[in-house]
A = this chain, B = another copy of it.
Amino acid sequence: MSTDAPAAASASSTIQRDSTGRLRHLITLEGLSREELTALLDLAQFYVRAPGDFPARDKSLAGHTVANLFFEPSTRTRVSFELAAQRLGADVVNLDMTSSSRAKGESVLDTIYTLQAMHADILVMRDAEPGLPAYVARHVAPHVCILNAGEAHLSHPTQGLLDALTIRQHKPDFTQLRVLIAGDIAHSRVARSAWQALTTLGVAELRIAAPDDLMPAAGEFAGAVRYDDLDRAIEDVDVVMTLRIQRERMGAARIQDERGYHQAFGITAARMRRARPDAIVMHPGPMNRDVEIAGEVADSPQSVIQQQVTNGVAVRMAVLATIVRNVHARRQLQ
């Protein structure tokens, strides 16, 4: 690891805007207005295609170069961004940062400067540590955009957007909805970004349910109602989002094994019957079947998990196209 390790980002929401207030990077959903979120969802919806149809395709990113820098590996998110960029006509390069440059002792910032000097102008980053995207955003040239593809437990903005889009496709009026996020909330960037999006979009009630030791600190998730009993939490909700649980976290939650977790915090068919009859079930993937979610629930008609994946590509196309449009707008104003 280099010596220029970034401090935790406190001002991601400020740094991601240019002097005209336009989005320049996407590091967090914090601070995005309802109008901004709606515009991104609308553009994403424009890019959605039915299964079996050809994917949407245009030239919004022609001439641009997207570099995927994954310091934490994630095949699924990397491929989603890669396809989104390809389908908008960008050049794409993949850098597996888990091994290469850090091994050579080069500072992350020098790696970024190198890519920037090669005219890579959109950098998609994932990192297990907090702070890198904002840190990098503070240092790149004016024409370079940083997209956060997952940052520690803090932020995963395109996931939050795809979750909001998926909900909207089934339940268009957020102000009528009760949404439950269940599982390892404390360590979940998915939960934090979903909370930010859904709160701004005006969800009627947001519930979070977690084992005691996986509940976030008191100051977090303002406005959310907290439950430690999933059976009560799920009652009458319209949307159930469950989260991936990592085996090593169960111990911290004083849960013995996967079976025990499933009993206490798994989304089962029985539990789903406590929710609204037309409730939808969501999972960010990859799933541990029969741990945080019963296989039969994941495959049930209420499940919109594959739709989330389709929406993921569409949302990333919308973000890429918006960010690039803002770069061009900014230039014309100067």
The interface of chain A, by Cβ under 8 A from chain B, is: 3, 49, 51-55, 57, 63-65, 67, 73, 75-76, 79-80, 82-83, 86-87, 91, 93, 95-96, 99-101, 104-107, 110-111, 113-120, 141-143, 285-289, 306-310, 312-313
Cα(A51)–Cα(B309), bound, Å: 35
Cα(A115)–Cα(B110), bound, Å: 34
Chain B residues near A67 (CB-CB < 8 A) = 79
CB A268 to nearest CB in B, in angstroms, measures 17
Chain B residues near A308 (CB-CB < 8 A) = 117
Report whether A91 and B87 are in contact in the complex, using a CB–CB cutoff of 8 Å. yes
Report whether A101 and B86 are in contact in the complex, using a CB–CB cutoff of 8 Å. no
- Tally of this chain's copies: 3
Report whether A93 and B104 are in contact in the complex, using a CB–CB cutoff of 8 Å. no
**Would you give 29 A-B contacts (Cβ < 8 Å), ordered by A?**
A3-B289, A49-B119, A51-B116, A51-B141, A55-B63, A55-B119, A57-B63, A65-B83, A75-B101, A76-B101, A76-B111, A79-B118, A80-B118, A83-B118, A83-B120, A105-B288, A106-B286, A106-B288, A110-B289, A111-B286, A113-B306, A113-B309, A114-B285, A114-B306, A117-B309, A117-B310, A118-B313, A119-B310, A119-B313
Chain B residues near A286 (CB-CB < 8 A) = 101, 104-106, 110-111, 114
Cα(A49)–Cα(B116), bound, Å: 12
Report whether A86 and B82 are in contact in the complex, using a CB–CB cutoff of 8 Å. no
CB A80 to nearest CB in B, in angstroms, measures 6
**A interface, over-half SS:** mixed
Contact flag A52-B142 (CB < 8 Å), given A95-B75, A307-B117: yes
Which 9 pairs of residues, A with B, have the shortest CB-CB distance? A106-B286, A117-B309, A55-B119, A52-B143, A75-B100, A117-B306, A54-B63, A117-B310, A86-B91
Find A143's partner among B51, B118, B142 (CB 8 Å cutoff): B51
Report whether A118 and B310 are in contact in the complex, using a CB–CB cutoff of 8 Å. yes
Cα(A87)–Cα(B92), bound, Å: 11
Report whether B141 and A52 are in contact in the complex, using a CB–CB cutoff of 8 Å. yes
